Amino acid sequence: MRLGILSFAHLHAEGYQAILKTLPGVELVGFSHEDEGEGRRFADQYGLRRFAQPQDLLAEGLDGAIVCSENARHLELVELAAKARCQILCEKPIASNLKDAQAMKAVCEQNGVHFMTAFPMRFAPSTQSIRAAIGGGQLGQIYGVNGINHSEIPKAHRAWFADKELAGGGAVMDHVVHLADLLRWYFGEVSEVYAEVDNLFYPGEGVDTAGLLLIRLENGVQASIDCSWSRPTWYPRWGHLKMEVVGERGTAVMDSFAQYLNLYSRQAARAHSWVGFGPNPDRAMLGEWLASICEKRPPSVGWNDGYQALRVALAAYASASTHAVVSLERFS
């Protein structure tokens, strides 16, 4: 199977390329990246073939392409890949606005291409265990859910994350979609959002760095999402994803990255870091994507999942600007 990565703008591209190199039957043909200096650095660092333009990489006859560009450029690359009849895995959030997201669906359908949203936490054993406990009735009636997704500001790794035009927003756009997707997966669609969004941690930046969402789902469950770029750059780990589900029969607490070892190094970028040893959800996600290509079927996490999560993030921004509860019916 011949695969390519369209842009290395998103730092997840680095992890994806490392995993793809280890998978049997997979040939990572290369990556496209238009910035020559950055492209050469990535090519040298990872031993990959660089293509100056995405069209050049797609002309190699790929079976699948992973879109890892800036959020605002996703549509451009999805259109190119779909017209080249490439199956697509697209980073989250799938777009910075609903119009672009809807255009992605249209171009994929027109060209008979399947679209997968990169929601790796669907494939983490911890999140799957929570879903099983809820679905199996172990917790009884669910009273509420608290979700947390924090990290450091990604600007030091990729400056565009703090550029509103390219990213579509800051911490809310970056982090809400993961937990919104899990809430939908567990309980169904979101009906209302109330949010407070601010820039508490990096006042000089032009995007939000903190947000708190209160969510009502269509089945009546209420949830909160605490998202921020609050971790300092010297924090031992990039970030975390946690959830607390409170039910009539008990409470389930999830920390998806709790399995780690302490590493102290004089050579590494961080003198102290937490090295995870649990299952890698990115690997499982890529495995599902590749299986869907081989089996010529839609992937288990599709375009609609990315679209619905984007609606929640955009509703959060709308609520914060009006200081009012926002119905998801406004974002369709």
- Percent of the chain predicted with pLDDT > 70: 100
Band of residue 145 on the pLDDT scale cut at 50, 70, 90: very high
Q: Where in the chain is the domain with CATH 3.30.360.10?
A: 121-278+303-330
Upstream peptide bond of 93 is cis (omega within 30 degrees of 0): yes
Q: How far apart are the first and last CA of the chain?
A: 36
**pTM of the predicted model as reported, rounded to 2 decimal places:** 0.96
At residue 214, φ and ψ (nearest 5 deg) are: -110, 125
Q: Are 171 and 213 in contact (CB under 8 A)?
A: no
User: What pLDDT score does 177 carry?
Assistant: 97
The type of residue at 88 is I
pLDDT tens, 275-306? Answer: 888 899 999 999 999 999 999 999 999 999 99
Report the C-alpha gap between 57 and 50 in whole angstroms.
Answer: 8
Indicate if the pLDDT at residue 239 is higher than 90: no
Query: Tokens in use for 271?
Result: 């003198």
> So what's the architecture of 2-113 in CATH?
3-Layer(aba) Sandwich (3.40)
When computed from its CA atoms, the radius of gyration of the chain, rounded to whole angstroms, is: 19
CATH of 121-278+303-330, one of 3.40.50.1440, 3.40.50.300, 3.30.360.10, 3.30.2290.10: 3.30.360.10
Question: How deeply is 244 buried, as exposed, middle or buried, from its count of CB atoms within 10 A (0-12, 13-18, 19+)?
Answer: middle
Q: Where in the chain is the domain with CATH 3.40.50.720?
A: 2-113
At residue 267, φ and ψ (nearest 5 deg) are: -100, -30
pLDDT tens, 302-331? Answer: 999 999 999 999 999 999 999 999 999 988
Band of residue 271 on the pLDDT scale cut at 50, 70, 90: confident
pLDDT tens, 182-220? Answer: 999 999 999 999 999 999 999 889 999 999 999 999 999
Q: What is the mean pLDDT of the chain?
A: 96
Please name which of 311, 309, 301, 310 lies closest in space to residue 89, comparing C-alpha atoms: 301
Query: Tokens in use for 298?
Result: 């839609």
What's the length of the chain? 332
Q: In what order do the strands lie in the sheet with 239-247?
A: 250-255, 239-247, 142-151, 222-228, 210-217, 190-198, 326-327
Higher pLDDT, 259 or 246: 246
Band of residue 238 on the pLDDT scale cut at 50, 70, 90: confident
User: What pLDDT score does 270 carry?
Assistant: 77
User: What pLDDT score does 331 carry?
Assistant: 81
